[in-house]
Structure 1
Amino acid sequence: MNRRVDRWWYGASRPLWILWPLAWLYRYVAERRKHKALATRATGAAFAAPVIVVGNITAGGTGKSPLTAWLVETLRNEGWRPVILTRGYGGRAEHYPVEVINGMSANVAGDEPVMLASMTGCPVVVDPKRVRGAAWAIEQQLGDILVCDDGLQHYQLPRQLEIAVFDGERGVGNGAPIPVGPMREPVSRLATVDFVVFNGEPKTPLAITHPNLYVMNLQPRALRHLGSGEIRELSWLSGKQVKAVAGIGNPSRFFNTLNELGAIVQGNSFPDHYQFRRDDLQVEEGQLLVMTAKDAVKCQAFAHDRCWVLEVAATLPQSFREALLLAVKSIN
């Protein structure tokens, strides 16, 4: 997301108020598409496997992928065989559906699918048409439960559980629809989701109420050398000069984490899903370069010897785990 737009959307005011006619049009078109998709879904058969949808009602990154990784690991520990469904934003596959395989380029499958496949080791099926991808995954007997990453507005996909994710620092921003604000759907949409998860403690007064609201934290785990795979402890970063690059929804969160680990950080933010080039990774004498796992999958081919990846993992309260598993078990 453009940093200027990010400031306009996630501040308290609405400097783009002049675009309200476009916001009304956006909301009208979105509602029409929703009703049409729901009508189509109502006439179709449900899948032979439960579907959990993870998504958001705001534009930009919120932490959906780390939550998806946590979900499939939790389900796998309970004996399920989860499959991740994803659009594959930024990928250019020759055909769909496509299953992410070891060594597949992010240019083909998209950065998040390649990252999720590497992080979780479970099947990841990429298809802009999630219904087709879901049907194919079941036909291929890849698993027995489907987790759709970023599918809250993909209403043609039948689902049994919905989880809405918010960035704790940004919340709903100015609360206005796109393009005046960041809202894909109104806050009232949350009345129909099963769980709401905040990525980090909310920093502003909540405009959101929900009976099943939980806080997720992304905990840094280790540093991984992008070339060799060598693992180092987080304490190794303390006092080091670091050039940090991030093409994610909220780069400042990543930079702040590195600062908290004791690094002396020069932050370089890029648009979400940015296609990095060799020149973007240049460092000064004595600097290390540290990036996110999502960005690393796009830089493997041209990374230099000072490129490191900060590995993080989602942590959620036991109460959420118990409520989620109870909800999954109650699905007929």
Structure 2
Amino acid sequence: MLAKMWSGQNKLYWLFVPLSFLYGLLVFCRKKFYQWGIFKSWQAPVPVVIVGNLSVGGNGKTPLVIYLVEHLTAKGYQVGVVSKGYGGKSDHYPLIVSEQTSASIVGDEPVLVYQRTHVPFAVSPKRSDAVQLLLKNYPIDIIITDDGLQHYALKRDIEIVVVDGKRGFGNGWYLPAGPMRETSSRLKSVDFVVINGPSEQHYQDAYTMTLEPHQAINLLTQECRPVNELKAVSAMAGIGDPSRFFTMLEKNNVELIKTTAFMDHQDYSQEQLLALADPQQVLLMTEKDAVKCSAFAQKNWWYLPIDAKLTELFLDNLLIKLNK
């Protein structure tokens, strides 16, 4: 219902337009208060790169964060990552993510990024506290924030906006009538626009990002296998757009017998997932889901990591801005 309303297919969104005007006014006033110095922003002593979006939902920020960490690290930079830790329920902040940190404490995305990159990662709703904790404990050259484009309490040097090529900006309305946190005019003031996947809409000076799958990995044994070799697959996804994951599997000739979509950042129980696939079948999930299921995984549970791919031009231009 919500997806159809935000895309404009369901006209019920007009009922929420008055609330959207109020939301837009609050967004405008809050941003101006930071610009006028009424609300204070903190400037880190190292460059801060924001990877965010203008609309709610999974647009591909986390794969891009992993891409940036891996490529900047390969260039010799000491990279740290911070996040709000959406979905986590820690009793204290800021905190540093480690091998023992669970997704229930810091959220699924911080655990995913840390397990893939093993760079210093700190979580706090107040991102400046997370940055300061990293700088106190590690030699850091660059800070990347996973989300936080609208978190103006932390000053930034580079802003990267990720746009879902398929969904775009929906009906274009502010929340709750539409999916927008800020209007599309904000694209004019950011440093880089990255489009996740093919798009029918043209975005000026934008870079295209594709998501490419690795081999599937067994949650229990860590065995790797080409995903199209898995048979009788029941696929599940608890991400912003589950259909993107299912479409990827179909394009890779996976033998799908069933697909199940969950809410983004949803917590799972063993009983809930056991019902999705018989022991003779394969339950295949996203890497983001897997970090929440490893403690009670079964031998027929697999996950599929993905990599973000961009042109060398994007990385070259990013390095030019960083060096300035």
- Is TM more than 0.5 here? yes
Asked if 1:120 is matched to 2:117, the reply is: yes
Instruction: Give 1:38 deviation, angstroms.
Output: 3.9
Q: What is residue 309 of structure 2 aligned with on the other side?
A: 315
Asked if 1:241 is matched to 2:242, the reply is: no
Q: What is residue 272 of structure 1 aligned with on the other side?
A: 264
RMSD: 1.6
Counterpart mapping for 1:275-294 below 5 A: 275-282=267-274, 283-284=277-278, 286-294=280-288
Secondary structure of the residue aligned to 1:16 is helix
User: Contact (CA 8 Å) 2:81, 2:122: kept in 1 or not?
Assistant: yes
User: Contact (CA 8 Å) 1:72, 1:82: kept in 2 or not?
Assistant: yes
Letter in 2 for 1:281: L
| Aligned mate of 1:200, from 193, 197, 200 | 197
| Aligned mate of 2:161, from 150, 164, 168 | 164
Question: Aligned pair in 2 of structure 1 residues 301, 41: CA closer, same or farther (>3 Å)?
Answer: farther
| Aligned mate of 1:297, from 271, 291, 302 | 291
Asked if 1:263 is matched to 2:259, the reply is: no
User: Contact (CA 8 Å) 1:49, 1:138: kept in 2 or not?
Assistant: no
Instruction: Give 1:32 deviation, angstroms.
Output: 2.0
Counterpart mapping for 1:56-75 below 5 A: 56-75=53-72
Question: Aligned pair in 2 of structure 1 residues 138, 241: CA closer, same or farther (>3 Å)?
Answer: same
Letter in 2 for 1:181: G
Instruction: Give 1:19 deviation, angstroms.
Output: 1.1
Secondary structure of the residue aligned to 2:215 is strand
Q: What is residue 241 of structure 2 aligned with on the other side?
A: 250
User: Which deviations, in whole Å up to 9, do the C-alpha atoms of 1:84-116 show, x marking residues without a partner?
Assistant: 110101111121111100021101111000000
Q: What is residue 135 of structure 1 aligned with on the other side?
A: 132
Secondary structure of the residue aligned to 2:152 is coil
Secondary structure of the residue aligned to 1:15 is helix
Counterpart mapping for 1:81-230 below 5 A: 81-202=78-199, 204-206=200-202, 209-211=203-205, 213-230=206-223
The CA distance in 2 between the partners of 1:249 and 1:217, in whole Å, is 16
Secondary structure of the residue aligned to 2:174 is coil
The CA distance in 1 between the partners of 2:37 and 2:77, in whole Å, is 29
Question: Aligned pair in 2 of structure 1 residues 86, 37: CA closer, same or farther (>3 Å)?
Answer: same
User: Which deviations, in whole Å up to 9, do the C-alpha atoms of 1:117-137 show, x marking residues without a partner?
Assistant: 001111111001011111221
The CA distance in 1 between the partners of 2:320 and 2:39, in whole Å, is 26
Letter in 2 for 1:300: S
User: Contact (CA 8 Å) 1:281, 1:303: kept in 2 or not?
Assistant: no
Percent identical pairs in the alignment equals: 40
* Superposition TM-score, scaled by structure 2 size: 0.95
The CA distance in 2 between the partners of 1:194 and 1:12, in whole Å, is 32
The CA distance in 2 between the partners of 1:286 and 1:44, in whole Å, is 55
Secondary structure of the residue aligned to 1:154 is coil
Instruction: Give 1:35 deviation, angstroms.
Output: 2.3
The CA distance in 2 between the partners of 1:45 and 1:21, in whole Å, is 34
Greater mean deviation of Cα atoms: 56-65 or 223-232: 223-232
* Unmatched 5+ stretches in structure 2: none
Secondary structure of the residue aligned to 2:112 is helix
Letter in 1 for 2:116: M
Asked if 1:36 is matched to 2:30, the reply is: no
User: Contact (CA 8 Å) 1:13, 1:174: kept in 2 or not?
Assistant: no
The CA distance in 2 between the partners of 1:192 and 1:312, in whole Å, is 30
The CA distance in 2 between the partners of 1:41 and 1:318, in whole Å, is 40
Instruction: Give 1:8 deviation, angstroms.
Output: 1.6
* Unmatched 5+ stretches in structure 1: none
The CA distance in 2 between the partners of 1:259 and 1:103, in whole Å, is 35
Letter in 1 for 2:226: E
Aligned residue pair count: 321
Secondary structure of the residue aligned to 2:305 is strand
* Superposition TM-score, scaled by structure 1 size: 0.92
Instruction: Give 1:39 deviation, angstroms.
Output: 4.1
Deviating beyond 6 angstroms after TM superposition, the runs of 4 or more aligned structure 1 residues are: none
Secondary structure of the residue aligned to 2:213 is strand
